[in-house]
Structure 1
């Protein structure tokens, strides 16, 4: 597996992966051409030194998964850096084969390389299998999360 920063050419495949999901199919709009909002978001992410949109490719250079790491500077904990992992998805054909664990191992190591002191994530409560997966990786549900949607 190779981990690399996503390029604009990868964007349609990334959005297709997001949309190929029970929750994603209600949130995403996969169509060609992609809606301009995805292109604008990709540009903003690509230009931000604290954002890393990553694709995972196999030996044939096919994209099999993606994740996004955001590095957040805090004042507390002596001005520590935190890593937020989001938008983790693996193509349906590759699920259940250990790629998720490899992706998280890579993300955790990347956060350590950047001297982050915590890596955190959120998971929709409608995804009990994902929550169990995160707990098996050593993540603990230490906080209660809240969201206000607009």
Structure 2
């Protein structure tokens, strides 16, 4: 049975391996290059790196970012980003398990909504998010790339 939890300090290398599967064209990062940032991320109370572990391997992950807010009764909102499943474990429900756990965490923290964006044009990817309970027609997303 796969376990869903937040990432631990010693899992940076395994997480970077997952991210290479998410964005293969990104520059490869060595754990030493981002060790300080990793510690900051783990210490950030408004950020959770959600992982699914199967057979002592991180098989899926996403980032949950919670933003304090002064509307909607001062309830925070959340954003899910960097959703990825290990290539050799895809199609087994681990990605959905991860996203649903992140949504549950946001709900437990009192968020009034959870958002995510996808640039994926493949219909199966959009259907994946709908199967996780997201509504593609509820809002219009805009992105300004700052690269």
With the shorter chain as reference, the TM-score category is 0.7 to 0.9
Runs of 4+ in 1 over 6 A off after TM superposition: none
What SS does structure 2 have at the residue aligned with 1:27?
coil
Pair 143,35 (structure 1): closer, same or farther in 2 beyond 3 Å: farther
Unpaired segments ≥5 residues, structure 2: none
Aligned residues: 144
Candidates 30, 34, 41, aligned match of 2:37:
41
Output one character per residue of 1:76-118: Cα deviation in whole Å (capped at 9) or x when no partner: 2121211111111111111011112222221121111111110
Alignment of 1:133-144 (within 5 A): 133-141=128-136, 142-144=139-141
- Counterparts of 1:65 and 1:144, CA distance in 2: 25
TM-score, normalised on structure 2? 0.86
Aligned-CA RMSD value? 1.8
The structure, 1 or 2, with the larger RCO (C-alpha pairs under 8 Å, 6+ apart) is 2
TM-score, normalised on structure 1? 0.85
- Counterparts of 1:138 and 1:7, CA distance in 2: 27
